[in-house]
């Protein structure tokens, strides 16, 4: 599709990301939150989200929540964990797992952290041992795609262990849902959390939860916040036909609905994952050909975002590298790994192989001008 709206640059980030012209265009229309047409669109959108990850739709539902992805994570943690009865085990191997720990601490919840460092995989045997020995644990939370590094955590294997010990399973799929096939009901996930501005390719402003209805019922009256009450948000949407409890981000909602239609038109999650994977493979192979090294091994990486070590040359400056690439039409991410000098490049959004080839050409020019070597 040829772009009609001028793009000053392409966002090579894990979200917000580059969106299509048609997603941008639908935001030119104003909507009333009480309008029947708008609320019917919200209900249709909730159903379409379920279609992406759930086969048995009788057991699951979708809740939409205003705010960034972290707001939605906090709504799940604050609504599903009871202060007196529950204890959450949080698996951490990056910044976003650590953020769930921070949420639990601020809310005064009983929690235990299994921290494997920023660059290590989850030790499944240690997880089994923890669930065997600590009988108070009621919930387990993990980040699927940890965009600190781009690591994809094995939620299939984790789920088997969590469900063997009969725990509720919370998955932060912020940067993976819609771009990687996740069978929510097959994995018996109780709460899956994602955001409008990630792989479905909408814009920032709200997130959503795909929840098991029985697990959601336990959240009634348990929220630690008025506005982040997950159960009340769901109850209002169910009883009022798509109405949000408080003012909804109408333009963002309309953009997300358009993005869902475009996901379907592309061929669904399978086709989108293929495109993202092709972007990733082109990037990794091209960067390695230029002498860059990836932080993770191939088997550990997701197709969402890739972390590279910065060149060791004293001539390299990430700030200069970033600025020059932005002038050439690309915005990348600085590194988030505290123990290594890295930078990150995203592979998702309304971008394709031609965009990645142009990026590599621009990076070659940076090398030529000795900004990297």
Do 187 and 107 lie in a common domain?
A: yes
CA–CA dist 219, 77 (Å, integer): 10
Q: List all residues 6 or more positions away from 28 whose beta carbon is below 8 Å from its beta carbon.
A: none
Q: How many domains does the chain have?
A: 2
Q: Which of 234, 264, 294 is the last residue of a domain?
A: 264
Do 48 and 129 lie in a common domain?
A: yes
Look at strands 206-212 and 191-195 and give their pairing. Answer: antiparallel
In a domain, 1, yes or no: no
In a domain, 3, yes or no: no
Do 242 and 106 lie in a common domain?
A: yes
Do 41 and 171 lie in a common domain?
A: yes
In the chain, % of residues over pLDDT 70: 97
3-state secondary structure of 180: strand
Do 257 and 280 lie in a common domain?
A: no
Q: What is the pTM of this model?
A: 0.95
CA–CA dist 197, 255 (Å, integer): 10
Nearest to 261 by CA among 178, 173, 347: 178
In a domain, 76, yes or no: yes
Read off φ and ψ for residue 306, nearest 5 degrees.
-125, 135
In a domain, 356, yes or no: yes
Q: Which of 207, 238, 264 is the last residue of a domain?
A: 264
Do 199 and 239 lie in a common domain?
A: yes
Do 170 and 183 lie in a common domain?
A: yes
CATH number, domain of 32, equals 3.40.640.10
**Has residue 372 got a pLDDT over 50?**
no
3-state secondary structure of 17: coil
Do 207 and 106 lie in a common domain?
A: yes
CA–CA dist 245, 225 (Å, integer): 13
Do 126 and 194 lie in a common domain?
A: yes
Do 97 and 195 lie in a common domain?
A: yes
CB 262: neighbour CB atoms within 10 A?
A: 19
Residues spanned by the domain of 209: 22-264
Q: For residue 366, what pLDDT is reported?
A: 80
In a domain, 4, yes or no: no
Residues 243, 35: contact at Cβ < 8 Å? no
Residues 168, 215: contact at Cβ < 8 Å? yes
**Has residue 329 got a pLDDT over 70?**
yes
**Has residue 275 got a pLDDT over 80?**
yes
Q: Which of 239, 264, 289 is the last residue of a domain?
A: 264
How does residue 8 score in pLDDT terms, banded at 50, 70 and 90? Answer: confident
CB-hemisphere CA count at 13 Å for 82?
14
Q: For residue 312, what pLDDT is reported?
A: 85
**Has residue 365 got a pLDDT over 90?**
no
CA–CA dist 50, 150 (Å, integer): 25
């Amino acid at each position: 599709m040829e772009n009609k709206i001028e793009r000053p640059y392409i966002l090579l980030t894990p979200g917000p990301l580059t969106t299509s012209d048609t997603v941008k265009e639908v935001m030119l229309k104003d909507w009333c939150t009480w309008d029947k047409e708008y609320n019917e669109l919200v209900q249709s959108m909730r159903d379409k989200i379920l279609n992406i990850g759930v086969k048995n739709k009788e057991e699951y539902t979708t809740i939409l929540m205003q705010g960034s992805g972290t707001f939605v994570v906090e709504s799940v943690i604050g609504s599903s964990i009871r202060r007196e009865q529950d204890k959450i085990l949080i698996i951490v191997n990056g910044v976003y797992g650590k953020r769930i720990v921070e949420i639990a601490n601020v809310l005064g919840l009983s929690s235990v952290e299994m921290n494997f460092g920023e660059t290590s995989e989850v030790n499944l045997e240690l997880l089994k041992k923890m669930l065997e020995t600590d009988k108070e644990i009621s919930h387990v939370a993990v980040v699927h795609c940890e965009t600190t590094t781009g690591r994809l955590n094995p939620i299939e294997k984790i789920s088997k262990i969590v469900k063997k010990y009969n725990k509720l399973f919370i998955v932060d799929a912020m940067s993976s849902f819609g771009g990687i096939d996740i069978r929510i009901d097959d994995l018996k996930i109780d709460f899956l959390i994602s955001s409008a501005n990630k792989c479905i390719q909408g814009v920032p402003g709200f997130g959503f939860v795909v929840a098991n209805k029985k697990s959601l019922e336990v959240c009634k009256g348990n929220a630690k916040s008025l506005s982040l009450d997950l159960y009340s948000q769901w109850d209002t949407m169910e009883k009022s036909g798509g109405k949000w409890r408080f003012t909804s981000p109408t333009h963002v909602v309309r953009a997300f609905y358009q993005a869902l239609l475009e996901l379907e038109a592309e061929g669904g999650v399978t086709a989108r994952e293929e495109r993202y994977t092709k972007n990733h493979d082109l990037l990794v192979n091209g960067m390695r050909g230029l002498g860059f090294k990836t932080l993770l091994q191939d088997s550990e990486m997701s197709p969402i975002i890739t972390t590279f070590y910065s060149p060791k040359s004293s001539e390299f400056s990430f700030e200069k590298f970033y600025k020059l690439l932005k002038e050439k039409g690309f915005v990348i991410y600085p590194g988030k790994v505290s123990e290594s000098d890295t930078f990150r490049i995203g592979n998702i959004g309304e971008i394709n192989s031609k965009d990645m080839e142009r990026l590599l050409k621009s990076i070659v020019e940076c090398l030529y001008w000795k900004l990297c070597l």
